[in-house]
C-alpha cells in the first residue's frame, strides 16, 4: 500500500489537506451517481498506479459539502484508509430548486463514467420529477442537454424507454445486464413486425357499405347488457329479505368483458347470416377471423368517462379494430371501425398498452380511409380531444 504522501504527489493544485470527518458528500449525489463498489475497486487500481490526479472539490462557502470527487473520496477512505484528503475550494451558486442543484452537481462530474442503466435511471428520475413539479414536459432541447451531461444521446434514452415500456421483460433485462441498447432495440423492432394481424382492406370496404351490421349487433348487445346490469336477483334473496344488488355493482372490467364477448359474437352471427365464413373469439386468433378471406378484426370496449375513451390491450396488435364505447346505462355509444397500426399503442406499466382519444383523432384526420365512424365521434377543442356518444340509430 502506498503512503499518503505518495498518493498525493501528482495531485493537481489544491488548497489544503482536510480531515475526512470534516467533509460531507452532497445530499443529492446518490441520485446523480448511485454507489457502485466495483467502480471503487477499479478506481483504487488507477490511484495506486498513478496517485490521485484531481483533488476533491468542496463548496468555498461552507468548506464542507463535496461537489466533485465523491467516488475519489470514498475510494481513498475505503481502499487506502486515509484520514486526510486534498481539497480545492470552488464557488457554488445558490439554487431555487433541487433539479437546478442536481444539474450543477452533474456538470461538476461530466468526466465520470458509469453504467448505462444508472444513467438511464437518473435521467428518468429527472424528467419525471420535472413533469411532476411543473406539470409539463421538459423541452427536447433541455432533455438533450441533460443527456449530454451523462454522455448519451436523447435518442438512445428514448430507445431504452421504448424497450422498458414494451412489456418485453426479457429484453429489458438485457439492457440492465449491459447489452448495447441499440442492439436490443433492433431486436424489439424485429419482433414487433409480428404484431400485425391480417389487415386486408376488403373488410374495411365491406363495413363501409354494411354499417347496419354493426348497428344491429350493437342493438342486440345493448338490450342484453341493459337487462343484465339492472336485473335484481329476486331468486336469490338475502337473509334480511332484500334482493341482491343489480349487476351494475360489479367491477367495470367484468361488465366490460361481458360487453366485449356478447358484441363480438353478435357481429360474427350476423356476418355468418350474410354468407361470411368467420370464427369469433378463437383462442390464439383475432376476435373475429375470416376462414376464407384472410382478414382479422379485434374488438375493444371501454366505459365512457364523460370526456374521452381510452382502450387498453396486452398486445397492441396492428389490426382493424371495432371500437365500442358505452355508458353505464347502455343508452349512448361510440362505435367505429379503425385501422390501428401497432405504433399507435402507447406502452405503459404492467405490460399494458393504451390507445387514446388523441391518437384516434389523429388517425381520423391523417388516414380518413382507415377510419369509419358509425356512432358518436371525436373532436378537438382548445387543444383538447373529446368524444361524444349517440343513441342507437
Residue 243 has a pLDDT of 66
Given pLDDT bands bounded at 50, 70 and 90, which one contains residue 237? low
Residue 150 has a pLDDT of 93
- Answer yes or no: is pLDDT of 58 > 90: yes
Evaluated on CA atoms 166, 169, 171, 177, the torsion sign reads positive
Q: Return the bridge partners of 56, or none.
A: 87
- Alpha carbons 43 and 79: distance in angstroms, whole number: 10
Least confident of 13-22, 114-123, 170-179, 243-252: 243-252
Residue 170 has a pLDDT of 86
Given pLDDT bands bounded at 50, 70 and 90, which one contains residue 248? low
Grid cell digits, residue 376: 358518436
Nearest by Cα to 87 from 117, 119, 64 = 64
Overall pTM > 0.75: no
Average pLDDT, the chain: 89
* pLDDT digits 0-9 by tens, 309-343: 899 988 888 999 999 999 988 999 999 999 999 88
Given pLDDT bands bounded at 50, 70 and 90, which one contains residue 193? low
Residue 194 has a pLDDT of 64
Residue 109 has a pLDDT of 84
Residue 230 has a pLDDT of 77
Given pLDDT bands bounded at 50, 70 and 90, which one contains residue 244? low
DSSP H or E segment with residue 30: helix 29-32
- Alpha carbons 19 and 359: distance in angstroms, whole number: 60
- Alpha carbons 117 and 130: distance in angstroms, whole number: 20
DSSP H or E segment with residue 155: helix 154-164
- Answer yes or no: is pLDDT of 382 > 90: no
- Alpha carbons 29 and 25: distance in angstroms, whole number: 7
All domains of the chain in start order, with CATH? 1-100 (3.90.1530.10), 115-193 (no CATH), 201-388 (3.40.600)
- Answer yes or no: is pLDDT of 234 > 70: no
- Exposed / middle / buried, residue 259 (Cβ in 10 Å: 0-12, 13-18, 19+): buried
Residue 131 or 113, more confident: 131
Residue 232 has a pLDDT of 64
Cα angle vertex 329, ends 325, 330, to 5°?
Answer: 45
Grid cell digits, residue 134: 411543473
Percent of the chain whose pLDDT exceeds 90: 65
Amino acid at each position: 500500500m502506498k503512503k499518503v504522501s505518495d498518493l498525493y504527489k501528482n495531485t493537481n493544485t489544491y488548497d489544503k489537506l482536510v480531515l475526512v470527518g470534516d467533509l460531507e458528500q452532497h445530499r443529492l449525489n446518490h441520485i446523480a451517481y448511485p454507489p457502485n463498489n466495483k467502480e471503487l475497486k477499479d478506481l483504487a487500481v488507477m490511484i495506486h498506479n498513478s496517485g490521485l490526479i484531481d483533488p476533491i472539490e468542496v463548496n468555498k462557502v461552507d468548506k464542507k459539502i463535496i461537489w466533485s470527487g465523491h467516488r475519489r473520496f470514498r475510494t481513498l477512505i475505503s481502499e487506502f484508509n486515509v484520514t486526510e484528503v486534498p481539497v480545492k475550494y470552488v464557488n457554488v451558486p445558490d439554487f431555487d430548486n433541487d433539479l437546478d442543484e442536481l444539474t450543477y452537481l452533474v456538470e461538476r462530474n461530466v468526466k465520470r463514467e458509469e453504467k448505462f442503466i444508472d444513467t438511464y435511471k437518473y435521467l428518468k428520475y429527472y424528467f419525471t420529477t420535472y413533469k411532476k413539479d411543473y406539470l409539463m414536459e421538459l423541452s427536447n432541447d433541455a432533455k438533450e442537454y441533460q443527456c449530454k451531461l451523462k454522455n448519451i444521446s436523447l435518442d438512445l434514452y428514448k430507445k431504452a424507454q421504448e424497450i422498458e415500456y414494451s412489456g418485453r421483460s426479457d429484453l429489458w433485462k438485457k439492457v440492465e445486464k449491459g447489452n448495447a441498447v441499440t442492439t436490443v432495440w433492433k431486436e424489439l423492432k424485429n419482433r414487433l413486425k409480428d404484431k400485425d394481424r391480417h389487415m386486408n382492406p376488403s373488410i374495411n370496404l365491406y363495413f363501409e357499405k354494411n354499417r347496419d351490421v354493426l348497428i344491429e349487433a350493437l342493438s342486440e348487445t345493448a338490450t342484453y347488457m341493459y337487462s343484465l346490469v339492472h336485473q335484481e336477483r329476486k331468486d336469490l334473496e338475502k337473509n334480511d329479505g332484500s334482493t341482491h344488488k343489480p349487476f351494475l355493482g360489479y367491477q367495470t372490467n367484468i361488465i366490460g368483458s361481458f360487453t366485449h364477448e356478447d358484441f363480438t359474437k353478435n357481429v360474427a352471427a350476423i356476418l355468418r347470416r350474410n354468407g361470411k365464413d368467420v370464427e369469433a373469439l378463437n383462442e390464439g386468433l383475432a376476435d373475429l377471423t375470416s376462414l376464407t378471406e384472410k382478414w382479422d378484426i379485434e374488438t375493444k370496449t371501454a366505459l365512457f368517462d364523460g370526456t374521452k375513451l381510452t382502450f387498453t390491450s396486452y398486445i397492441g396488435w396492428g389490426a382493424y379494430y371495432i371500437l365500442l364505447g358505452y355508458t353505464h346505462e347502455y343508452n349512448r355509444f361510440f362505435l367505429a371501425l379503425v385501422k390501428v397500426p401497432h405504433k399507435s399503442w402507447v406502452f405503459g406499466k404492467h405490460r399494458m398498452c393504451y390507445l387514446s382519444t388523441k391518437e384516434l383523432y389523429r388517425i381520423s384526420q391523417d388516414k380518413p380511409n382507415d377510419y369509419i365512424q358509425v356512432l358518436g365521434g371525436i373532436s378537438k377543442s382548445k387543444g383538447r380531444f373529446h368524444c361524444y356518444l349517440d343513441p342507437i340509430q
